[in-house]
Amino acid sequence: MNIRTVSTQPFPDQKPGTSGLRKKVPTFQQPHYLENFVQSIFDSIAAPQGATLVLGGDGRYYNRVAIQIILKMAAANGFGQVLVGRGGILSTPAASCVIRKYRTFGGIILSASHNPGGPDGDFGIKYNSGNGGPATETVTEEIYAKSKGIASYRILDAADVPVDQLAETKLGNMKVKIIDPVSDYSELMESLFDFPAISTLLKSGFKIKFDAMHAVNGPYAKEILERRLGAPAGSVMNGVPLEDFGGGHPDPNLTYAHDLVEIMYGGEAPDFGAASDGDGDRNMILGKRFFVTPSDSLALLAANATLARGYKQGLAGVARSMPTSAAVDRVAKALDIPCYETPTGWKFFGNLMDAGKVTLCGEESFGTGSNHVREKDGLWAVLFWLNILAVRKQSVESIVREHWEKYGRNFYSRYDYEGLPTEAANGVMQHLRENFSLLTHKQFGSYAVEMCDDFSYIDPVDGSLSKGQGLRILFSDGSRIIFRLSGTGTEGATLRMYLEAFEADVSRHHLDAQEALKELIRIALDISELQARTGRDQPTVIT
């Protein structure tokens, strides 16, 4: 066994974001770039000799190359076994499932989530801890610190490991086990949901369309929806994972999942539609000519949780990210359970779930999940909705409208301004901060500002403080405008503007969200000077 110690120099840009390190593929293809970051992970996590690691990704370009490098480095760094998804495939929630089921030391997930792929697209890598969730900020800061001082990395000289067949092989002293990427996850889903009831629904003429967007969830959806539950062949569209996602942008929203949207708003629309993203952790839910916002979806799942097998005992609590609408807060109040408002980032939910404080959680960015894993989970959300539909025997739209009638409607929208010059995006944020005192108690049309702040969070589990999590302008009637710089992009800056207004009047619940929020949108653009400062008249995406 020939282990080489390779001299290297640090790269200055290896600071992990909210979901690991994401860069353009050519950046990762630089000599030593990936190796430096992987060695920094191994030097930070202090895995014992012989530990087991999980490894897989969303199948995007460079996934297979990276897997071979990581395997050889794991062997050189003393790991005893690595579980690899066949073909290098493991959805992010499935990787969390495998880590937890087999109690491995942790796992490395190769994905840039909903970002485009291909030779000129994005690539990403992140470390998940033994609980199955993203590494804590303490760990990611240590990884970054190691990356800034790295002088060498260790790698085994060996031939590549075959990853396309279920088998066990040796790589030096380390065992590499190629596992079925779908089976463990499918079994977990079957334990949570009433598969016989869903199967009866799908065989009754109830039509569904699931858009896997040529991303990782294609094999999972085909196995569960078509094979196990009996949905007709073709219910899963774009179901073959491709390295460039078929040239598309694997982000399940009304803009990028346009093929599905056209089907669901067409003359022969199915009863239920859904999509998931690059690594399978996000979801979009649609009824026949009806869109369910992620915030409403979280609230609906909480309100109907006991209809699903795995949640019949009720919920310990719920949590949402700060930019997510307060719709779930109203459900939590009615159920008399705690509701936590956290910064954006699934690791904050992981702490709450590990402590038994919450069962369901979600983000407005099309991510929902529960304590079954420690990641958001796109296909889980789809199955939860199908379970509810099978029990209630109503349409998606009627279930949502009944929910609004009971709890009121939180009109909600998000404006994404992608690829902005970083200086311009920072200028908008700085302008808002400097004007907090002038905005407080000011009247804007029918809206009165109650307070402004830069959201901070003290974790109730470990006491850690997270600052600078987004600028909030809170109005006296409960409406909100929020500005936040996203940490998931790889080029320029993404500035997100969130708008929310509560409406109790059922006679107004039919309004389009953009129409209902028209005045609030105008106020947000005026006080932020966003258009003048960025030169953008329109957002890249509206959801």
Catalytically active residues, by annotation: 113
Give the list of residues 6+ apart from residue 393 with CB closer than 8 angstroms, or none.
none
Contact 273, 210 (CB under 8 A): yes
Contact 60, 245 (CB under 8 A): yes
Q: Are strands 409-420 and 493-503 parallel, antiparallel or unpaired?
A: antiparallel
Contact 496, 504 (CB under 8 A): no
Helices in 153-312 by DSSP H: which ranges? 183-192, 195-202, 217-221, 258-264, 294-303
DSSP string, 84-141: EEEEEE--HHHHHHHHHHTT-SEEEEE--TTS--STTSEEEEEEE-TTSSBPPHHHHH
Encode 471-498 in three state secondary structure: EEEEECCCCEEEEEECCCCCCCEEEEEE
Between the alpha carbon of residue 66 and those of residues 63, 94, 301, 356, the distances in Å are 5, 19, 37, 36
- Report d(CA 121, CA 112) in Å as an integer: 9
Q: How distant is the alpha carbon of residue 83 from its chain centre?
A: 23
- Report d(CA 116, CA 279) in Å as an integer: 11
